[in-house]
């Protein structure tokens, strides 16, 4: 929610005056790692290829879901309502993708608190084999968290690797400026950047409208010991190692090699249960993958991508743990950092007067403001209520992504009717999702729709993953098949949780739990606070406003 300053604010500035009153940004990039970008739903794997600048930094993702995408978050209060931003990227078709209809091979859709302005257009041609594209978006409500998304999963196709992306940039305006590379932090270069002015006195600045003071990023102190693995593994506790499964220090990080054991790398008494944290690290995956162990967070295991990672999570344990997430893995981990996401943080602006905050309407924070939609599945977790075929067994009591024993194992006992489904009157365009893992090992199985479909054969591992389809053919189209062991499936048992189906979203966002009937969530029905008046609040030194420092647990990229 916006904070309105009706008086003047005194700001003492020592050093370079970075006030936007004095210099407006002329070059900016809100993407913190522009070469590789930031995934909202990561692909199964990726490789690095030569970029236009000659470095091996362009990413070639291999998606396993149509929802695989790049995603960028803009905190509420950063820009006013109706601010235009332009998202741009470079793309090279190494081979022909599965779908060629999307300009720039990204679908800028399913935005959160944003709308598209026009279509994707090409703005540069053949920059060392890459073309550049842009899409303009509009902020719907400046007080809310906004998300810009570029989907590549449906363009490339599951299991394929045909497109290289590089040079991701997000900035204000309607025309992309010259590419401004970043490496770990957003970039702002103003038109006075070459002149240094030392202001040693006091500057008065009258602020009207939304409070746009430049607050420091709301993060706590570093919690990890020896996160750069400078000379050894001191502070870390490797577990599960033997002669062929090893965790060893080498110049540049720690190497995790797994052949058949679930290796983990642990630091104890680092986290506090219920608090939110930001993890950043670098991964160089020769084969397989490693991830943030789902046992220590609210949600499921999060695979780390090759390259730079930034992950927000809520702790479910005091232990911090990285684990191998592919049975056969060889990965180098370095520069591990974990910091608490704070709500209250010292401001760079000293507010010594009274700030009037007008609040009217319902609480529209991102925590409560899912786009209005319905989960059409009446029993999203209790698969004993679903219809099972004559050669399928349903057993409850298995550990689920939320830490409870409320997942179900489905076992194939024969070939006659090896499936579990529910007739919900769905259509060919209904979006469906479900969480799944194996009991042991890795295999393939058809989920979500009839086995005759070509987009629903998924590779399942021992780690929880969320799977989605956004379309299905006419065969058994009204049924939601939790699992269909027929067709090309290699598995004979699978553990399931959290079925979701909707007709109101391009892709399914946050999972909605149901218990006996379909459930609808909208921005009003989930609000718990109805603020109908104005609040006066004196702020001195530390601004403790939750609105100015949103709880970033709502920005987590964990798909649960």
pLDDT of residue 189: 58
CA angle in degrees (0–180, nearest 5) for 163-117-553: 70
Q: Domain holding 165: CATH number?
A: 2.60.120
- Side-chain-facing half-sphere of 103: CA atoms under 13 Å: 14
pLDDT of residue 53: 86
Nearest to 536, CA basis, from 323, 356, 321? 356
- Domain extent, residue 252, equals 220-341
Q: Which residues of 91-106 are buried (b: 16+ CB within 10 A; e: fewer)?
A: bbeeeebeeeebbbbb
Are 383 and 315 contained in the same domain? no
Are 405 and 498 contained in the same domain? yes
Cα–Cα distance for residue pair 555/313, rounded to 1 Å: 9
In a domain, 302, yes or no: yes
Q: Is the pTM of this model over 0.75?
A: no
Are 337 and 247 contained in the same domain? yes
Q: Domain holding 320: CATH number?
A: 2.60.120.260
Contact 77, 546 (CB under 8 A): no
User: In 10 A of CB 146, how many CB atoms?
Assistant: 24
Are 102 and 225 contained in the same domain? no
Contact 235, 226 (CB under 8 A): yes
pLDDT of residue 519: 85
pLDDT of residue 372: 67
Nearest to 499, CA basis, from 431, 555, 444, 429? 431
In a domain, 401, yes or no: yes
- Side-chain-facing half-sphere of 532: CA atoms under 13 Å: 2
In a domain, 349, yes or no: no
pLDDT in tens, the chain (560 residues): 333 333 333 333 334 333 333 333 456 889 988 888 999 989 999 999 999 888 999 999 999 998 899 999 998 888 999 999 999 999 999 999 989 989 999 999 888 899 999 999 999 888 889 999 999 999 999 899 999 999 999 899 999 999 999 999 999 999 898 888 988 888 765 544 333 333 334 434 443 443 333 333 468 889 999 999 999 999 999 988 899 999 999 988 999 999 988 899 999 999 999 888 999 999 999 999 999 988 888 877 889 998 999 898 889 889 999 999 888 999 999 999 999 987 543 333 443 443 333 333 433 333 334 446 788 999 999 999 999 999 999 999 998 887 788 899 999 999 999 999 999 999 998 999 999 999 999 999 999 999 999 999 999 998 888 888 888 998 888 999 999 999 999 999 999 999 999 887 555 556 788 999 988 875 433 332 222 333 333 333 333 333 333 333 322 222 23
Region at 327 (left for phi over 0; alpha for psi -120 to 50; beta for the rest): alpha
Are 334 and 425 contained in the same domain? no
- Cβ neighbourhood burial of 142 (10 Å; 0-12, 13-18, 19+): buried
Number of domains in the chain: 3
Are 415 and 516 contained in the same domain? yes
pLDDT of residue 126: 85
Q: Which of 191, 206, 240 is the last residue of a domain?
A: 191
pLDDT of residue 344: 41
């Amino acid at each position: 929610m916006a904070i309105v300053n009706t008086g003047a604010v005194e700001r003492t500035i020592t050093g370079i005056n970075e006030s936007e009153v004095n210099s407006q940004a002329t070059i900016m990039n809100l993407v913190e790692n522009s070469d590789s970008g930031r995934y909202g739903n990561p692909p199964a794997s990726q490789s690095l290829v030569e970029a236009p600048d000659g470095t091996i930094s362009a990413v070639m993702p291999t998606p396993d879901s149509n929802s695989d995408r790049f995603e960028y978050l803009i905190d509420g209060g950063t820009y006013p309502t109706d601010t235009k931003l332009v998202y741009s990227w470079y793309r090279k078709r190494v081979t022909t993708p599965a779908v060629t209809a999307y300009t720039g091979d990204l679908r800028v859709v399913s935005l959160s608190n944003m709308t598209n302005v026009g279509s994707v257009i090409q703005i540069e041609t053949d920059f060392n084999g890459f073309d550049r594209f842009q899409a303009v978006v509009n902020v719907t409500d400046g007080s809310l968290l906004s998300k810009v998304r570029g989907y590549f999963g449906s363009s490339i196709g599951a299991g394929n690797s045909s497109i290289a992306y590089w040079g991701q940039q997000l900035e204000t305006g309607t025309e992309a400026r010259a590419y401004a590379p970043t490496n770990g932090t957003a970039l702002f270069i103003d038109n006075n950047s070459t002149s240094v002015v030392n202001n040693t006195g006091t500057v008065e600045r009258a602020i009207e409208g939304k409070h746009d003071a430049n607050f420091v990023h709301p993060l706590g102190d570093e919690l990890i010991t020896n996160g750069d693995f400078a000379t050894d593994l001191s502070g870390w506790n490797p577990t599960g190692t033997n002669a062929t499964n090893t965790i060893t220090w080498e110049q540049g990080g720690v190497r995790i090699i797994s052949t058949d054991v679930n290796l983990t790398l642990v630091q104890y008494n680092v986290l506090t249960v219920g608090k939110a944290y930001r993890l950043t690290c670098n991964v160089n995956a020769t084969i397989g993958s490693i991830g943030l162990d789902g046992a220590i967070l609210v949600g499921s295991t999060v695979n780390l991508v090759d390259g730079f990672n930034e992950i927000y999570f809520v702790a479910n344990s005091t232990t911090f743990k990285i684990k191998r997430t592919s049975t056969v893995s060889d990965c180098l981990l370095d520069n591990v950092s974990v910091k608490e996401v704070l709500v209250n943080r010292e401001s760079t602006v000293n507010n010594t007067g009274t700030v009037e905050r007008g609040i009217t309407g319902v609480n529209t924070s991102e925590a409560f403001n899912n786009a209005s939609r319905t989960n059409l599945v009446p029993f999203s977790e209790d698969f004993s209520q679903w219809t099972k075929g004559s050669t399928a067994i349903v057993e409850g009591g298995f550990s689920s992504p939320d830490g409870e024993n409320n997942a179900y194992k489905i076992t194939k006992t024969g070939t006659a009717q090896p499936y579990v489904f529910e007739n919900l009157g769905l259509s060919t365009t209904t979006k469906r999702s479900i969480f799944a893992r194996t009991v042991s090992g890795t295999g393939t199985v058809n989920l979500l729709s009839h086995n005759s479909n070509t987009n629903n054969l998924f590779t399942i591992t021992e780690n929880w993953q969320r799977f989605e389809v956004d379309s299905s053919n006419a065969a058994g189209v009204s049924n939601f098949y939790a699992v269909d062991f027929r067709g090309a499936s290699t598995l004979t048992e699978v553990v399931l949780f959290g079925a979701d189906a909707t007709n109101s979203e391009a892709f399914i966002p946050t999972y909605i739990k149901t218990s006996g009937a379909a459930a609808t969530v909208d921005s009003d029905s989930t609000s718990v606070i109805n603020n109908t008046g104005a609040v006066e609040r004196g702020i001195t030194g530390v601004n403790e406003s939750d609105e100015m420092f949103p709880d970033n647990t709502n920005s987590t990229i964990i798909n649960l």
